[in-house]
Structures are given as C-alpha cells and as structure tokens.
Amino acid sequence: MTDQKKIIVVSGPSGAGKTTVINLAMKRRADLRFSVSATTRAPREGETEGKDYFFVSVEDFLRMAEEGELLEHAQYVGNYYGTPRKPIEEMLEQGMDVVLDIEVQGAAQVRERVPGSISVFLTVPSFDVLRERLRARGTETEERISERLARAREEYKQIPYYDYIVINDDPVIAAEELCSIITAEKCRTADRIKQLEEC
Ligand code: 5GP
C-alpha cells in the first residue's frame, strides 16, 4: 500500500539549525529527499555544487524564474534563492517525500501552489541563542549577522501561517519531531481514505 507522498517545507531563522535537523531526519527516513535550491549567493567553504545548492549567476537565475523552472523564488539578504521544480516532480514520482529548506516568502508561495504540502517553522528557544549560533558558525561578518537577526524578527511574524513549530533545543529531538509530523500527516483521514480506495 503506497502512502501519499509529501512536500515538507521547513523555514526558520538563519542559525536555527535547519540543515542539521533535516539531515538527521533524512537519516531516520530513507524515503525523505532534500530539494537542492538554486542561489546567486557565493558558495561558503565546504559547500558543494549540486549537493548544498546550485550556484548560479543572477542572469541564469532570472532566466530560470522567467521560464517557470522554479516552484518558488525569493530574495534574501541581497541574494536570490529558488526551488527547481523538475527534480521535485521526479522525486515524488519515484515515491520519495521531499523536504525544502526555504525562507518565509518562498514558503508562502509553496503553500499557495501545492495543496497538501506541510509547512514547519523551525526555530531556537531565544534570539540570544540565535546570535551565538551565528557567531559560532563563523561564516558571516557582524554586519551580516545583524542583517540576518533583523530578518529573523520579520520572519517570526509569519509563524501563524505555518502548520507546525519545532523548537530546536536539541537537534536529535527536533529531527524526531519533524519525522513525527510527517508520519502524522500521512495518517490524515483524507489521505488514508484515498489509499484504502486504491486497494
Ligand atoms: P543560506 O544563505 O544561509 O544558505 O540561506 C539563507 C536563507 O535562504 C535560509 O533561510 C534558507 O532557508 C533560504 N533558502 C534556501 N534555499 C531557498 C529557496 O530555494 N527558496 C527560498 N525562498 N529560500 C531559500
């Protein structure tokens, strides 16, 4: 019996630990895949083309957006980010669930365009924790950290539009919560009735 495949959107402030939590969740669920975004941001040390992001020029990004290749796209702290549509369709066809790590404007677009998608806001217990994590990461200047914190305050206003909130005090527990959300969503009556009818 095949269950309903899901698109799971995870948003949350920079430094909340989305990447760690998503990676832990993918280890627990073999059928969960990550949607690799396109961005015009420069690669950080250790980031791999095609695994962390597709690093593209502004010109290429705008062409992709124009030609409808992106499921959603947005600007974030001076760079463009977007979700390529085709790989998601392919992963869903192959029977995978797909998780997207995207910011709040993109999440709103997915909510509107993909009925049945799940949205999760992942954050930390306080702004102080966030500031410390961004500093400890050592990838951004103080100015960029301030910009990202200011952005986080704006993002918090979008929390009521999300289906779930996960507070990342401990990444293992946060990943467990994310997996439980996916499991629970698959048990929704409407989805289960469809499954039972197919049998
Ligand atoms: P970072 O530069 O730290 O990798 O990502 C900055 C922000 O961009 C994060 O909040 C991340 O969730 C978001 N982001 C990454 N990929 C996408 C995407 O494809 N679309 C949108 N809208 N946001 C994205």
Q: pLDDT value at position 137?
A: 83
Q: Is the CB of 103 under 6 A from ligand 1?
A: yes
* CA of 148, closest atom in ligand 1: 6
Is 11:119 a contact under the CB 8 Å cutoff? yes
Question: Residue 56 C-alpha to ligand 1 middle, in angstroms?
Answer: 14
Q: pLDDT value at position 104?
A: 96
Among protein residues, the one with the nearest Cα to ligand 1's atom 18 is 82
* pTM (predicted TM-score): 0.94
Q: Is the CB of 107 under 6 A from ligand 1?
A: no
Among protein residues, the one with the nearest Cα to ligand 1's atom 22 is 106
* Distance set, CA 127 to CA 109, 131, 132, 146, 156 (Å): 26, 6, 9, 11, 11
Mean pLDDT by 10 residues, the chain (199 residues): 89 93 97 98 94 97 98 94 97 97 97 96 93 86 89 93 97 98 95 88
Q: pLDDT value at position 1?
A: 67
Side-chain-side CA neighbours of 161 within 13 Å: the count stands at 19
Paired sense of beta strands 70-76 and 79-84, if any: antiparallel
Q: pLDDT value at position 77?
A: 83
Q: For residue 41, count CB atoms less than 10 angstroms from its CB and return exposed for 0-12, middle for 13-18, buried for 19 or more.
A: middle
Question: Residue 25 C-alpha to ligand 1 middle, in angstroms?
Answer: 18
Which of the 8 DSSP states describes residue 192? H
Among protein residues, the one with the nearest Cα to ligand 1's atom 23 is 102
Q: pLDDT value at position 140?
A: 82
Give the residue among 17, 43, 53 at the shortest CA–CA distance from 177: 17
Q: Is the CB of 8 under 6 A from ligand 1?
A: no
